[in-house]
């Protein structure tokens, strides 16, 4: 009983960490609109992208594991009207659910960005999104400290918690910028910065007289670089850092694409990432024409591994990219086979 209680406390602490960082994926590079609204329409080779992401965490250790899902898409507009730029619009739906109380977060947002070429080798992008967030919890499935009778939690004992509602909703604002440098056809570098919750929305299941909890601004910086080594290999290194209040997250690693078909239409993807103080993340993927499938597994390396058997979570992403018509007017170089 004591070991189980300690395990629950550890899991609860990790829940606070995960939700403090908002919905997130280990494959952050395959959820571009979630990272930075300036990524909307930021794909020189294609006119549009659509994708789905799914994450299942601690499924072998919890009756109600974390499940995070998203569907997103973006498109380029006005390529024929702006000589050295274009507009991107997009949107996403995200849902996160976990725990005995079925705590869920649903987010829907639309984003817009403008991309402007600076000379022949640089691209500056800026964007913003507006989102609607709803969070719910079923308090009837939870127990609280006042319901401990000395031997077990008794749900018939009043919790004496001053909850005002089991559902909260609010609007959220996010803004970001991106800078990309195309050194040549074989090398590309990118840095992006974004701020989420810039309007400091209120999020609380209590009345405002009890708690006026406001979300801290979440700052995120992203570094990305791709290098074509030869006709068979392209290496893509990434670094991601996010900070919200006193909580921060750092993920670094790389992907390597191997040209299976000779013309680049079929590629094998392998990668390895590290989330600081938490997990090692091996990644594998396969790209066929305009479809890309990527899966990863988070192997827990932190002290939580003593409780979850070092079994973290797995994640899946599928992305379809395409062009309208038969040709694409590419305004800046791209690293490709």
φ/ψ of residue 300, rounded to 5? -65, 130
Decide if 281 contacts 300 (C-beta within 8 A): no
pLDDT score, position 55? 92
pLDDT score, position 12? 41
pLDDT score, position 60? 56
b/e burial code for range 85-113 (CB count within 10 A of at least 16 → b): bbbbbbbbebbbbbbebebbbbbebbbbb
- CA 214/CA 198 separation, integer angstroms: 11
pLDDT score, position 8? 41
pTM of the shown model: 0.83
> Any idea which residue has 């090692």 for tokens?
280
pLDDT score, position 309? 58
> Any idea which residue has 């191997």 for tokens?
258
pLDDT score, position 149? 77
> Any idea which residue has 């290496």 for tokens?
235
In a 13 Å sphere around the CA of 68, the CA atoms on its Cβ side amount to 22
Q: Are strands 313-322 and 48-57 parallel, antiparallel or unpaired?
A: antiparallel
Cα angle value 294/298/303 (rounded, 5°): 170
Decide if 73 contacts 48 (C-beta within 8 A): yes
Domains contained in the chain, CATH given: 2-322 (2.40.160.40)
**Mean pLDDT, consecutive 10-residue segments, the chain of 337 residues?**
39 41 80 94 91 82 73 93 92 85 88 93 95 88 75 74 82 96 92 96 83 90 95 96 93 96 94 93 96 94 60 89 82 80
Of 277, 274, 273, nearest to 305 (Cα)?
277
- CA 274/CA 250 separation, integer angstroms: 8
């Amino acid at each position: 009983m004591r070991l189980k209680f300690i395990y629950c406390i550890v899991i609860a602490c990790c829940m606070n960490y995960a939700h403090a960082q908002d919905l997130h994926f280990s494959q952050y590079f395959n959820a571009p609109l979630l990272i930075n609204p300036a990524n909307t329409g930021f794909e020189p080779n294609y006119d549009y992208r659509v994708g789905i992401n799914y994450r299942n965490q601690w499924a072998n250790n919890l009756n109600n594991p974390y499940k995070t899902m998203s569907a997103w898409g973006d498109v380029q507009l006005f390529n024929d009207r702006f000589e050295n730029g274009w507009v991107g619009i997009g949107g996403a739906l995200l849902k996160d659910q976990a725990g005995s109380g079925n705590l869920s977060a649903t987010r829907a947002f639309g984003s817009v960005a403008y991309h402007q070429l600076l000379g022949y080798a640089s691209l500056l992008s800026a964007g913003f999104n507006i989102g609607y967030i709803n969070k719910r919890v079923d308090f009837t499935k939870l127990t609280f400290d006042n319901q401990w009778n000395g031997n077990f939690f008794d749900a018939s004992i009043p919790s004496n918690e001053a909850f005002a509602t089991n559902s909260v909703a609010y609007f959220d604002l996010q803004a970001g910028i991106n800078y990309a440098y195309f050194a040549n056809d074989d090398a590309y570098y990118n840095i992006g910065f974004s701020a989420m919750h810039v309007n400091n929305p209120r999020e609380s299941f209590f009345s405002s007289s009890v708690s006026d909890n406001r979300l801290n601004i979440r700052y995120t910086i992203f570094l990305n670089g791709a290098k074509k080594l030869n006709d068979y290999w392209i290496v893509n290194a990434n670094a991601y850092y996010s900070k919200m209040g006193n909580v921060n997250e750092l993920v670094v690693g790389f992907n390597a694409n191997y040209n299976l078909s000779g013309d680049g239409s079929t590629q094998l993807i392998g990668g390895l990432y590290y989330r600081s103080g938490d997990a090692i993340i091996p990644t594998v993927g396969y790209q066929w024409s305009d479809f890309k499938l990527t899966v990863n597994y988070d192997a827990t390396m932190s002290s939580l591994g003593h409780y979850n058997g070092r079994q973290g979570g797995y994640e899946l992403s599928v992305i379809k990219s395409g062009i309208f018509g038969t040709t694409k007017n590419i305004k800046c170089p791209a690293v490709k086979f």
